[in-house]
Chains A and B, each alone.
Chain A
Amino acid sequence: MPHLDAAYNLARWLTRNEHDAQDVVQDAFLRAFRFFDGFRGSEGRAWLLTIVRHTCYSWLEKNRPAEVRAGFDEESAAADAAGFDPDMMAAEGGNPEAIALQNAHKRILNQAIALLPLGFREVLILRELEEMSYKEIARVVDVPVGTVMSRLARARQLLRQSAPLRAMGGFAVTEVKR
């Protein structure tokens, strides 16, 4: 089942919850299977992630409509920061990632990404973690390539200015050794 990790990673970052992400991925694969004709060779990952993203949005609209409405709302996202569970990103049970996440800087960075408004978070994940080209991202998110660049620019600016990273005393993430 190729691209399952990519599907799960995107769903996990968009729903910000392990169980919801699993439900979404299962649903997305069922849809993908049904619309198999749409599948196109080397663009398989972009095609599948388009479906995963769409499924995420449908799921969020049904279960957490406020998050979709605030897709580009920079202020409400900042307000969220106050009530956000700081340990959310570490709630992964006993897997090795969770242990690695004990690193405070790392946790703060991941939290700051999780707090980005949906519309900015998705382009950042597709670019930095899936390493997709602007063209592929444009396809998945269904916007022009120029919009991908401006959203990424905004996403990174928001991240740099975000409360968790600032509270940490500037951007010191790169000082942590891998």
Chain B
Amino acid sequence: MNCRDALELVHGYIDGELDLMKSLEIEQHIGGCASCKVQYDRMRELGSGIRAHAVYHASPPALRARVGAALPQEPGSAARYPAWGLGRMSAAFALAGLLGLAVGMALLHPGAEERIAREVVAGHVRSLMAGHLMDIASSDQHTVKPWIAGKLDFSPPVKDLAPQGYPLAGGRLDYLGERSAMALVYRRQGHVINLFVWPQADVADSGLRSDAHRGYNLVHFSRAGMLFWAVSDLNPDELKAFAALL
């Protein structure tokens, strides 16, 4: 990362808007670059100064009444219920609030698919962070496949997709959804794709489904009693094209 990029990305970092990998890159850069560190400190100082001292203009009391009076009245009800329009709007806002609550609760109890998506992304990030991307580094599917066979109770298909622009880089054992899973590592230009494969009883074959979680893109499908989840920071279209080749 160069200083020009860092000076912009540091704002996303301060605002908590960067994904894990970008945050680590920024931390590393600031750690080694004194002038960017100074900028970072100044911008943080500025941010806390603004939040402490910039005026939040609360609406004047008269405005509420004025807006309420200006909202359209239902025909015939205006005389008897002057605040009807306002009431209707409040009711709708309240309903929307309830819907928001329902959505919030759904997030607390994620469906199975979302839970898997979370674990897959966590597995992907872990593999990049811990420097444990591969147990076996090989672009040769005939090396990777026998290696797997000795470790797992199932046999995932291993394809080298180098001709299509997605070279196989290796594989490792991982643990997902409370069972062992195979992680195949592919590369696409600078990007790493983790393809997690594990068997699942009674699963019907399905087409490609796209998803995104914490800034990572996911494509998943099931085939021959196995679940396939590809995860990467690669763009959704290329990730989908990759999954379609499997």
Contacts and interface: CB of A to CB of B under 8 A. Distances in A.
A49 B9 CA distance: 26
Nearest to A174: B49
Given A4-B63, A39-B92, A106 B103 contact: no
Interface of B: 7-12, 15, 17, 42-43, 45-60, 63-64, 66-68, 70-72, 85-86, 89-90, 92-93, 96-97, 99-100, 103-104
Contacts of B47: 128, 156
Interface string A29-57: 11001001001111010000000000000
27 contacts: A2-B93, A7-B59, A8-B58, A25-B59, A25-B67, A26-B67, A29-B70, A30-B70, A33-B71, A36-B89, A41-B97, A42-B100, A106-B53, A109-B49, A109-B54, A113-B54, A124-B50, A149-B12, A149-B17, A150-B8, A159-B50, A160-B42, A171-B42, A173-B52, A174-B45, A174-B48, A176-B53
A41 B96 contact: yes
Given A44-B96, A97-B55, A160 B46 contact: yes
A85 to B, nearest CB: 16
A133 interface: yes
Majority secondary structure of chain B interface residues (helix, strand, loop or mixed): helix
A22 interface: yes
Contacts of B8: 149-150, 153
Contact of A41 (B15, B72, B100): B100
Contacts of B56: 5, 9, 129
A13 interface: yes
Interface of A: 1-5, 7-9, 12-13, 18, 21-22, 25-26, 29-30, 33, 36, 39-42, 44, 89, 97, 101, 103, 105-106, 109-110, 113, 124, 127-129, 133-134, 149-150, 152-153, 156, 159-160, 171, 173-174, 176, 178
A101 B55 contact: yes
Contacts, number: 139
Nearest first, the 7 A-B pairs at minimum CB distance are A42-B100, A173-B49, A8-B59, A41-B99, A12-B57, A153-B11, A106-B53
Majority secondary structure of chain A interface residues (helix, strand, loop or mixed): helix
Given A113-B54, A171-B42, 10 more contacts: A29-B67, A30-B70, A41-B100, A42-B96, A42-B103, A44-B96, A89-B55, A101-B55, A133-B17, A149-B11
Contacts of A89: 55
